[in-house]
Structure 1
């Protein structure tokens, strides 16, 4: 039996999706959005230069990781509904953070696709 925290799989795929989406959005969308908010975005230039040749694979990897993370979160939600009080389920705060990460990753992925 493994002794690891519940919800680590969905969180790992969510973080991978956010990282890939950040790489895609660093080219055009993030500098535009950060400059609109009055925040300097010159530091994104190096990331954009490295990520731009890999835009399509990063889009695919980001989408696949976010979809898999959403599927695993859905399974966690179903298990938590069946678990009941006192059961060994994924804590609610982990599921909420995972959902917030999925939404952030989806927004970054959309912005990286839309603003190029």
Structure 2
């Protein structure tokens, strides 16, 4: 499948990673994030509303977050392999987009772990 030339590269990977990050944030909002923010000295009262909405859906959010982050990691690996073969004039995902996606995956995994562990 050939992408149209005007479509930005890496959008699917970034979208899946953001979905996983959002699900992980919802899981961690009730317990892990307030502890983390309080230890840094940041107020966490605003997380109460998010925690009330996300608490009944904790298990589905854990599953969705894990699946999105796994798919995002697989897509990022594919992008890295394509970028390694791509020449100087090739149409590859920009390096900054791959780096941002990688850090998003790490943050999502950390939030998912914290939300699972600190309940």
Deviations 1:40-72 (A, max 9, x none): 000000100000000000000000000000000
Inter-partner Cα distance in structure 2 for 1:88 and 1:47 = 40
> Matches of residues 62-81 of structure 1 in structure 2 within 5 Å?
62-81=65-84
> How far does residue 85 in structure 1 lie from its aligned partner after superposition?
1.2
CA RMSD of aligned residues (A): 0.7
Give the 3-state SS of the residue equivalent to 1:5 in structure 2. coil
Using the size of structure 1 for normalisation, the TM-score is: 0.98
> Matches of residues 78-93 of structure 1 in structure 2 within 5 Å?
78-93=81-96
Using the size of structure 2 for normalisation, the TM-score is: 0.95
Inter-partner Cα distance in structure 2 for 1:100 and 1:84 = 25
Aligned residues: 116
Q: After TM superposition, what 4+ stretches of structure 1 lie above 2 angstroms from structure 2?
A: none
Q: 2:42 aligns with which of 27, 31, 39?
A: 39
> Matches of residues 13-52 of structure 1 in structure 2 within 5 Å?
13-52=16-55
1:5 — aligned with what?
Answer: 8
In structure 2, stretches of 5+ residues that fail to align are none
Deviations 1:3-61 (A, max 9, x none): 31000011000000000000000000000000000100000001000000000000000
